[in-house]
Amino acid sequence: MGLSANLSAVVAGFMPALASVFLTFSGNASWGPASLLVVIGLISLGGAIATSKVPA
């Protein structure tokens, strides 16, 4: 549990830089960083679906 919390902090630290990259590649359009949020949401949805199928 502690390892996953620390690894998520490392990944979260790069999100502002990654959002800036998406913004640059989209030509300063708002859909660039918004697409990053969509990707994060889809990853979270996939994780929630995967864990709901694991028997207790």
pLDDT for the residue 22: 94
pLDDT over threshold 80, residue 4? yes
* pLDDT tens column, 22-41: 999 999 999 999 999 999 99
Does residue 15 surpass a pLDDT of 90? yes
pLDDT, position 53: 84
Domain limits of the chain? Answer: 2-52
- What's the confidence (pLDDT) of residue 48? 92
Residue that has been written with the tokens 């990259």 in this structure? 21
Q: Is 27 left (phi over 0), alpha (psi -120 to 50) or beta?
A: left
Q: Quote the pTM value.
A: 0.74
Q: Which residues of 18-38 are buried (b: 16+ CB within 10 A; e: fewer)?
A: ebeebbeeeeeeeebbeebee
